[in-house]
Amino acid sequence: MFAVTATQTDSDNPLTGLTLGEHPEPKVPDGWTTVTVKAAALNHHDLWTLKGVGIRQDRLPIVLGCDAAGLDEDGNEVIVHSVIGSGPDETLDPRRSLLSETYDGTFAERVAVPRRNLVPKPAALSFEEAACLPTAWLTAYRMLFDKAELEPGSTVLVQGAGGGVATALIALGRAGGYRIWATSRSEEKRARALELGADQVFENGARLPERVDAVMETVGQATWDHSLKALRPGGRIVVSGATSGAVPPADLNRVFFLQLSVIGSTMGTRDQLARLARFLEQTGARPVIDRTLPLSEAREGFAAMHEGDVFGKIVFTVQG
């Protein structure tokens, strides 16, 4: 079958190890099944794998990709939950992994997954839209509706508008009844954030009209000080990653004053993925797709993400 794999890692030139071509059919352990992939979404996780982050060298070559939507063995339309683990919250299983870390991922014509990892795809969502949900949109859903502990009408600052999680936060926050403010160093991305549903947009580090109830932090070092300054006393910062470098140590005096709570949130459970799909079905909110490419042209999508030339999600379609 055709697949997109990581065959080597290079922290400086990650696309060196990106290989497109034939790959063996997936092996199916007991309790697992196969999904015929119709669409798969690109994440920073895939680029980091090519850089050698979070992957053992003895796992190479490995099929890349965490997210997918497609058809199960009975022809049902499904979304693939990409956290491989056990327990009521798979994300807390110390032995958990993501597709493309220990097991081959979704950038292929077929992928093997545990049967429990399949979620019915609502008919209202296209395969391309559904493929965006398991990583970026599920992370945003958990940040807003689980970890932030916010009431409708709260003001939320989204740092770094443009990425997959950030655009999901804006769209989900708007649909959930929050007042959404967003930052970006790009004038174009600020304008697009307004179109997506942000109430106000600001340059990175700009003084805000008032302090916010919560900050959604996905950038890290470049925005961390601004996130602390923007938060009201008793507010909360929810952290899901750091694309600009590690989050610096907090100023303890400021933390005490703000009663700051920093909570890590990465992806979510299978049940939360199912609720997210229903939420989109009910509200009409939809993922922002920057571009859709055939899987055979995946290198173009990886290059765009590597250069930062993305607003929303890059989705690969699979013909078969």
User: pLDDT > 70: what percent of the chain?
Assistant: 91
User: pLDDT > 90: what percent of the chain?
Assistant: 77
Give me the pLDDT at residue 293, please: 98
> What is the mean pLDDT of the segment spanning 265-269?
76
Q: Report pTM.
A: 0.91
Residue 258 reports pLDDT greater than 50: no
Give me the pLDDT at residue 112, please: 98
Higher pLDDT, 261 or 297: 297
Give me the pLDDT at residue 93, please: 86
Query: Burial of 160 by CB count in 10 Å (0-12 exposed, 13-18 middle, 19+ buried)?
Result: buried
Q: For the ranges 36-45, 215-224, 256-265, which has the lowest average pLDDT?
A: 256-265
Residue 92 reports pLDDT greater than 90: no
Give me the pLDDT at residue 56, please: 87
Mean pLDDT over each residue of the chain, to the nearest integer = 91
Residue 237 reports pLDDT greater than 50: yes
Dist CA 275 CA 32 (whole Å): 23
Give me the pLDDT at residue 259, please: 44
The dihedral region occupied by 232, where left means phi > 0, alpha psi between -120 and 50, and beta the remainder, is beta
Give me the pLDDT at residue 195, please: 96
Give me the pLDDT at residue 241, please: 62
Give me the pLDDT at residue 263, please: 42
Q: For the ranges 17-31, 77-91, 117-131, 233-247, which has the lowest average pLDDT?
A: 233-247
Helix orientation angle between 187-196 and 164-175, rounded to the nearest 10 degrees: 30
> What is the mean pLDDT of the segment spanning 197-206?
95
Give me the pLDDT at residue 159, please: 93
Residue 126 reports pLDDT greater than 50: yes
DSSP β-bridge partners for residue 217: 239
Residue 244 reports pLDDT greater than 50: no
3-state secondary structure of 245: coil
Give yes or no for a contact between 261 and 237, defined as CB atoms under 8 angstroms apart: yes
In this prediction, residue 62 has a pLDDT band, given cuts at 50, 70 and 90, of: very high
Provide the residue type at 61 as one letter.
Answer: P
> What is the mean pLDDT of the segment spanning 291-310?
96
Residue 182 reports pLDDT greater than 50: yes
> What is the mean pLDDT of the segment spanning 242-260?
47
